[in-house]
Structure 1
């Protein structure tokens, strides 16, 4: 099973403790959500796991290997990828062109200069499969800048999946997405490969309760509790701190 195993993870900025003694498991196929009030340390935790930040203490292991010394790019190559709260796409390129870039990069062909980018049928077949998986075929040849924001978030998810991760961290995938388009994000998450470990960091509780099989509640850099969605919805302390009695 293994997957991602975090033990005693801590992060301090001087005297400020932002993560403290976090134990966390994300096995293959998991669908886990990380929730908590603003300033709880959710994005800090994701940045520690992906190598954007270095921990002050604790360990991070992936499939039994200590990955603490690996930087962000090396962790991506090992199979840990993360989307961001703000879309980071090439807005002047088409959807198809955006998706082709990470495929080429993953295959070590990102720097080729003297061949047409669309000349490899295997690469094009992979791009086509991503377009189909995220229901983007009708938009494939439109510039990203012309897409609705919810559609841009789908492109970003597809772009990240093109890296072939085994752990996918979705950092507020519904941030900025109109409520009328949130269903696009939910449906895309539901279509992700079954063996992919997915961690969703999100404030949209409707999305969380739709896609998560377990939920971790983070408060002031520490894990308050973890449980199945129905358990979290019934937890009086969670309702008081975060959910405001909106669920259950």
Structure 2
């Protein structure tokens, strides 16, 4: 049950402090959201946890192991994965081909990534299961470039899940998704494996209040407060600083 444990995490860019003395826990099965105004340091925090950035001070432990100096690739291998605000897919490949890539890479068979894997029923079965989980089966042989943006975000989420992470960080999963398609994202998050630790970084407060069990509010690189959606919605400081006093 150790999961992810962050203590005193700080990041400086020269004289600018963008993350300051952050304590944060993410346990198996957690559904947490990280919110805050633009410039609060949310993406910086995610990049520190995933190894894209190196902390100035503080510690990051995963299952009791200090991973603060490990690079991004090593952390992915350990089970920490992150999606991005902009889709990072292969637009000319089909949905099936996109999802086959991380499965083969995870199995250290990347040299076969652009070949059909018809001879490997295990790989194809996993790809089919991923497509079914995210309601993508009917789109299996369509090029990703021809999908609606909300569907592309689902493909990216399925692709990240193919890495079999134990910690999944979703960096603005609804960014760019038309309002009529955001239900695709909320449904996909709701159907993620129950033992997966999930951190959602998002500006869409309707999505946050639907999927999060706990919400962490970040302001100017520091944690202002943490609580249940009901507690956060009722917090006067949060309403003033972020929710604009109008979220019921």
| TM class, shorter-length | over 0.9
Counterpart for residue 6 of structure 2: 6
Deviations 1:145-178 (A, max 9, x none): 0000000000000000000000000000000000
Q: Is the 8 A contact 2:11 2:20 kept in 1?
A: yes
Deviation, structure 1 residue 115? 6.5
* Deviation digits for residues 66-92 of structure 1 (CA, Å, limit 9, x no counterpart): 001210000000000000000000000
Deviations 1:121-163 (A, max 9, x none): 0000000000000000010110000000000000000000000
1:210 matched residue in structure 2: 210
Q: Unpaired segments of 5 or more residues in structure 2?
A: none
The 1:63–1:172 alpha-carbon spacing in structure 2 relative to 1, beyond 3 Å, is same
For residues 75 and 61 of structure 1, the distance between their equivalents in structure 2, rounded to whole angstroms, comes to 11
CA distance in 2, matches of 1:193, 1:246: 33
2:97 corresponds to: 97
Give runs of aligned pairs for residues 182-197 of structure 1, distance below 5 A.
Answer: 182-197=182-197
Write out per-residue CA displacement over residues 15-67 of structure 1, whole angstroms, 9 at most, x where no aligned residue: 00000000000000000000000000000000000000000000000000000
Q: Does 1:242 align with 2:245?
A: no
Query: What is the alpha-carbon distance in structure 1 between the residues aligned to residue 92 and residue 199 of structure 2?
Result: 30
User: Residues 223 and 113 of structure 1: is their aligned pair in 2 closer, same or farther, counting only changes over 3 Å?
Assistant: closer
TM-superposed deviation, 1:112: 3.4
In 1, the alpha carbon distance for the partners of 2:58 and 2:119 equals 46
Are residues 125 and 57 of structure 1, via their aligned partners in 2, closer, same or farther at CA, if it must alter by over 3 Å?
Answer: same
TM-score normalised by L of structure 1:
0.98
5+ residue gaps, structure 1, are: none
Query: How far apart are the structure 2 equivalents of 1:129 and 1:189?
Result: 16
* Corresponding residue of 2:134: 134
CA contact (8 A) 2:95 2:140 kept: yes
CA positional deviation for 1:245: 1.9
Q: What are the within-5 Å matches in structure 2 for residues 59-208 of structure 1? A: 59-112=59-112, 116-208=116-208
CA distance in 2, matches of 1:143, 1:65: 41
